[in-house]
DNA sequence: CAAGGTTATATTGTATACTATTTATCGACG
DNA sequence: CGTCGATAAATAGTATACAATATAACCTTG
């Protein structure tokens, strides 16, 4: 018997209510629509989706494991607040992982890869919506790493992305982050075209550490002391 | 007001039922007490802990995010089966992260670090319980990385450890894995004492890739085709 | 007796109901 | 007037109950 001759979708993985909620909440947190430190009211979320709070809690438990929210017993879940040292550590790991990814991907890149990356860059520059920027930013990076054929590595990078993205948004909006990102992205594409692995690795590293640096400079100093 | 003058514990983080269950289930999965592919019956777990299945489900949702179980709608959660390519990718990332960790840690290691590492090695060799081996193996590695003062990096390494540990158990028990691990561990300690970062990095990398290699050789070939 | 349908059972997923705990409100007391 | 304590409201956490679906047992039919 030939396998899956009609390319049937996997019905057993149809999303449950809690999975739908996970997706929405994750996007909301990443987009910075929920202030960090502010408690997430289970009943409110439940009413938004017209469901009970059971699936809401299951969704929050998942997001807790992803590091996006934190539970405090009898006080509920709050959006995780990332300290500056933690941010620095995350970028340190990102550099490590993303440099590895792009190195592995480089030999398998084709003109289609570059074209796709440039298309994303263009869309990025034409876009005015801040929320979409971050999304396209990830798409760009993912596009460069995908040829590596390392789903585990990429999912790990993505999970870190998800945690820091709402801070990046800040940085991109305030400084000339967008133009700088575009410049650096296009330069990386060119380096990839040349096929010089060391150069590409160096550029990706500088790009990421640069972003981290700007982010640091634009972080409000009082994020530890402000109340309410 | 002086901060926490009596070093008070944080009572707001007292574990809820679901968190207790998470911990136990996680340990059971890591220890290989639950066969991969076999469904985890929510009511069974609930009865074991004499609770309802609500906290059990929340626990499973957490473990799903950690990659230890997978949900199939209306069929429940099963222990995640890791394919050989996935295992290889995980080790690839482990090498990357652990080499980085030990490099960062090296300059901050003291004689206390080495003594502690040696103590763990000794306990490892004196131990006959397979389950305890893996635990001590992690303790050894964590001991070497802890001086790096990179909690995020170490937690990432740990999460990968947790996913592959039940396969390592297999490998350690079947081959001369235990003796070899001890030999290599002690050699790594010596290299750390010498303070030669490149040498240490190289040894850690060889150690990990070696483990992965042996693991690969001892994996049953039929793990994709065997039914029931 | 084989193949396919049909009912029964088991299991998951979610809503409702209840309990435990925290937080806000308010009054007694110094 | 402020502080302490009691009470009330709000919210989290969990048990029970029920609905949706899958699996197994059985039955029908050729």
pLDDT score at A17? 96
pLDDT score at A222? 45
Query: Taking a C-beta distance cutoff of 8 angstroms, is the pair B79, B35 a contact?
Result: yes
Identify which has the larger pLDDT, A8 or B180: B180
Q: Exposed, middle or buried: residue B43 (CB in 10 Å: 0-12, 13-18, 19+)?
A: exposed
**pLDDT tens-digit profile of A93-135?**
999 999 999 999 999 999 999 999 999 999 999 998 888 888 8
pLDDT score at A62? 98
Q: In the predicted model, what is the mean pLDDT of residues A60-84? A: 96
pLDDT score at A224? 46
User: Do you know the residue count of chain B?
Assistant: 228
Band (pLDDT 50/70/90 cuts) for residue A219 is confident
Identify which has the larger pLDDT, A52 or A13: A52
* Edge-to-edge order in the sheet of strand A39-40: A39-40, A76-79, A69-72
Residues 48-107 (B) near nucleic chain C, CB < 7 A: 53-54, 57, 71-77
Give domain limits for chain A: 14-79, 84-222
Q: Exposed, middle or buried: residue B211 (CB in 10 Å: 0-12, 13-18, 19+)?
A: buried
Q: In the predicted model, what is the mean pLDDT of residues A141-169? A: 96
Q: Which residues of A touch B151 (CB under 8 A)?
A: 86, 89
Q: Which residues of B touch A65 (CB under 8 A)?
A: 61-66
- d(CA A215, CA A169) in angstroms, rounded, equals 9
Nearest residue to B73 via CA among A12, A180, A214, A103: A12
Question: Is the pLDDT score of B228 beyond 50?
Answer: no
Identify which has the larger pLDDT, A173 or A58: A58
pLDDT score at A1? 45
Query: Taking a C-beta distance cutoff of 8 angstroms, is the pair B68, B31 a contact?
Result: no
A54, A59, A64: residue with CB nearest B54: A54
- d(CA B15, CA A46) in angstroms, rounded, equals 24
pLDDT score at B225? 42
Q: Which residues of A touch B63 (CB under 8 A)?
A: 65
pLDDT score at A12? 74
CATH architecture for the domain at A84-222: Up-down Bundle (1.20)
A37 dihedral zone (left: phi>0; alpha: psi -120 to 50; beta): left
Q: How far is the CA of B9 from the C1' of D9 (A)?
A: 29
Mean of per-residue pLDDT scores for chain B: 91
What's phi and psi for A76, nearest 5 deg? 95, -165
Fold of B14-79: Arc Repressor Mutant, subunit A (1.10.10)
State both tokens at A153: 């590595």
pLDDT score at A6? 63
- d(CA A155, CA A167) in angstroms, rounded, equals 20
Q: Give, in degrees to the nearest 5, the angle at Cα A215 between A211 and A219.
A: 180
Is residue A6 classed as helix, strand or coil in its secondary structure?
Answer: coil
pLDDT score at A175? 67
Q: Give, in degrees to the nearest 5, the angle at Cα B15 between A163 and B24.
A: 90
**pLDDT tens-digit profile of B107-165?**
999 999 999 999 999 999 999 888 888 899 999 999 999 999 999 999 999 999 999 99
Is residue A72 classed as helix, strand or coil in its secondary structure?
Answer: strand
pLDDT score at B148? 98
pLDDT score at B70? 96
Lowest model confidence (mean pLDDT) among A15-19, B145-149, B161-165, B222-226: B222-226
């Amino acid at each position: 018997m030939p396998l899956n001759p009609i390319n049937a979708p996997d019905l057993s993985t149809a999303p449950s209510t809690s999975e739908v909620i996970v997706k929405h909440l994750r996007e909301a947190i990443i987009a910075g629509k929920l202030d960090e430190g502010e408690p997430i009211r289970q009943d409110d979320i439940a009413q938004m989706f017209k469901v009970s709070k059971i699936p809401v809690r299951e969704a929050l438990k998942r997001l807790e494991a992803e590091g996006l929210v934190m539970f405090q017993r009898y006080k509920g879940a709050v959006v995780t607040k990332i300290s500056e040292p933690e941010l620095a550590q995350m970028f340190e790991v990102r550099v490590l992982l993303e440099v590895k990814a792009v190195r592995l991907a480089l030999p398998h890149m084709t003109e289609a890869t570059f074209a796709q990356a440039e298309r994303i860059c263009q869309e990025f520059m034409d876009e005015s919506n801040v929320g979409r920027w971050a999304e396209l930013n990830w798409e760009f990076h993912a596009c460069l790493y995908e040829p590596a054929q390392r789903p585990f590595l990429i999912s790990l990078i993505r999970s870190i992305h998800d945690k820091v993205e709402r801070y990046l948004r800040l940085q991109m909006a305030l400084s000339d982050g967008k133009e700088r990102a575009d410049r650096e992205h296009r330069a990386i594409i060119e380096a990839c075209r040349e096929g010089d692995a060391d150069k590409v690795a160096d550029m990706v590293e500088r790009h990421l550490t640069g972003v981290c640096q700007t982010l640091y400079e634009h972080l409000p100093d009082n994020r530890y002391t402000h109340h309410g």
